[in-house]
Amino acid sequence: MDHFIYKSGELCAEDVPIREIARHVGTPFYCYSTATLERHFRLFDEALEGTDHLVCYAMKAASNLAILRTLAALGAGMDVVSGGEYARARAAGVPGERIVFSGVGKTAAEMRMALEGGIRQFNVESEPEMDRLDAVARELGTKAPITVRVNPDVDAKTHAKIATGKSENKFGIPISRAREVYAHAARLEGLEVIGIDVHIGSQLTELEPFRLAYEKVRELTHQLRADGHDIRRLDLGGGLGIPYARSNAEPPLPTDYGAMIKEVLGDLGCEIEIEPGRLIAGNAGLLVSEVVYVKEGEDRSFLILDAAMNDLIRPAMYDAYHDIVPVTEAAPGTEPERYDVVGPVCESGDTFAKGRETRPLSAGDLVAFRSAGAYGAVMASEYNSRPLVPEVLVKGDQFAVIRPRPSLEEMLNRDTLPEWM
């Protein structure tokens, strides 16, 4: 569910017409709904009610400070994967004890930043990383709380580029080596082993892969406790999918996911952490674009937009599907037309959709990409020297620009010519 609905034939974000935002901000732009962000966070929090838990938002999905502060106000923790994300979380008012540091390539500088600024735990992904973190912690005269990310070799049944829990993926240590690696961690004076971490992928639409992974985590918990480790926290990652196409079957609800977690792991006496990102932010955001031209090809019509692959890379990178809807609803009885929806970038890959049916559209009409809140603005670039797309947050009948569109002058001023020029 989201809070982008048609009112009197015009698409609105909560109580604000999208067309009104476009008049103030220009196109393309991202628009987020506060009500949707809050609702989706609460669904996860309520799904784990009755357990000791923390919902840590995976901020790589959408990391604008206003989004982070909205979720932090509800008690969200943050899952970060870089020093920059850690700094963003702190700037949004998230205390260190609610920040989890994940990622396969943490540097010594990032480790030092988190240890000095406060951290809930590091999710360690390899023995070399473990050794480096131990050295940094001892240098600072402290202990780094850690979980070890295990790779359970479970097929998440998702796109190959967002699967993370199979043996050929770069993430975590093989679960078959877990006891050996935990024994090594226990010998390092700068580390405090507190739990287990697992994350098998993103955009999962079935619960069974989660269940298989969590059953392996359950068995490992018993083994590690028998080896003398104080396993008191289980970080279960994120990955629950969203329905990008409205006609598709609905993925499992957070309530079903929470019930499965309680069933498989509820009697272990461990604190549970989950790290949803896409399901919190995905349906909370739109990308709004204007039709520049309608071009007639040999055997098809092209809808050429002012948004491009540099603004929303998911279709080019993952062959991802997004519903594309007109901002002004079709009149009853209007026959749809079929378009290839493309952007202006000089790449054939700058294609959002092929053969998509919608009401007849003309230059100047606005369209909205649904479910664009996750992995949209955060993955945008300035390819073709196109300014980064602005971001807007709506709350009720109010809206605010939370990241402005840079001017061409601002973009050019970031470059520096060498003295010999």
pLDDT tens digits along 206-258:
999 999 999 999 999 999 999 999 999 999 999 898 888 765 567 889 999 99
What gap in Å lies between CA 317 and CA 309, rounded to an integer? Answer: 9
pLDDT tens digit string along 46-57? 999 999 999 999
Residue 421 domain flag = no
Q: Are 308 and 89 in contact (CB under 8 A)?
A: no
Read off the CATH number of the domain in which 302 is found.
Answer: 2.40.37.10
Q: Where are the beta strands (DSSP E) in 233-276?
A: 233-235, 271-274
Rounded average pLDDT over 339-367: 96
Residues 15 and 43 in one domain: no
CB atoms within 10 A of CB 5: 10
Residues 249 and 306 in one domain: no
> Per the structure, how many domains does the chain have?
2
- What pLDDT score does 1 carry? 72
pLDDT tens digit string along 146-198? 999 999 887 645 444 444 444 455 568 999 999 999 999 999 999 999 999 99
**Can you give the residue range of the structural domain that contains 403?**
4-31+282-413
What gap in Å lies between CA 224 and CA 280, rounded to an integer? Answer: 33
pLDDT tens digit string along 269-306? 999 999 999 999 999 999 999 999 999 988 999 999 99
* Percentage of the residues of the chain whose pLDDT score is greater than 90: 87
Residues 297 and 331 in one domain: yes
Residues 324 and 257 in one domain: no
Catalytic residue list contains 12: no
- What pLDDT score does 172 carry? 82
Residues 265 and 382 in one domain: no
* Percentage of the residues of the chain whose pLDDT score is greater than 70: 95
Last residue within a domain, chosen from 250, 280, 310? 280
Residue 363 domain flag = yes
* Per annotation, catalytic residue among 12, 56, 270, 346: 346
Adjacency order of strands within the sheet including 10-13 = 4-7, 10-13, 16-17
For 170-188, give one letter per residue: b (16+ CB within 10 A) or e: ebbbebeebeebbebbeeb
What average pLDDT does the chain have? 94
Residue 198 domain flag = yes
- What pLDDT score does 166 carry? 43
Q: Are 164 and 155 in contact (CB under 8 A)?
A: no
Read off the CATH number of the domain in which 266 is found.
Answer: 3.20.20.10
Residue 419 domain flag = no
Residue 18 domain flag = yes
Residues 243 and 122 in one domain: yes
Q: Are 133 and 146 in contact (CB under 8 A)?
A: yes
Last residue within a domain, chosen from 259, 280, 301? 280
Residues 214 and 289 in one domain: no
